[in-house]
Amino acid sequence: MDRQQILGQYDWAPGICFRHQSKGVVPTAHIKTIRPAAGGLQDIRACVDCVVEMNTRRGPGGGCCPD
Ligand SMILES: [Zn+2]
């Protein structure tokens, strides 16, 4: 699966990546919603790079061939 196919599986909206808060608001996809111990709900969002990385790592030979 190529990058565009991976990205096409997600709905994108401006947000803060859970791993790259320093980037500020970037296009992000909703990954999951967690329930912090403090209560309430927290959305976990990931930027393009993180979404691609998460998907390629799972695939056959994942992570071997960075572009
Ligand atoms: Zn990220």
Would you state the pLDDT for residue 10? 96
State in Å: Cα 40 to ligand 1 middle.
23
The amino acid present at 17, given as its one-letter code, is: C
Query: How remote is the CA of residue 47 from the centroid of ligand 1, in Å?
Result: 4
Is residue 66, in this structure, part of any structural domain at all? no
pLDDT beyond 60 at 5: yes
- Is 45 a domain residue? yes
Q: Is the pLDDT score of 59 beyond 90?
A: no
Q: How far is CA 66 from CA 14, 23, 38, 57, 63, in A?
A: 25, 21, 38, 11, 7
pLDDT at 57: 77
- Quick check: pTM over 0.85? no
Report d(CA 20, CA 3) in Å as an integer.
19
The answer to whether position 64 is within a domain reads no
Tell me, in angstroms, the distance from the centre of ligand 1 to residue 42's CA: 17
Q: Cα(45)–Cα(37) distance, rounded to whole angstroms?
A: 19
The reported pLDDT for the residue numbered 60 is: 57
How many domains, the chain? Answer: 1
Is 25 inside a domain boundary? yes
Is 15 domain-assigned? yes
The confidence band for 63, taking pLDDT boundaries of 50, 70 and 90, is: very low
Burial label for 47, CB within 10 Å (0-12, 13-18, 19+), is buried
Is the pLDDT at 56 greater than 90? The verdict is no
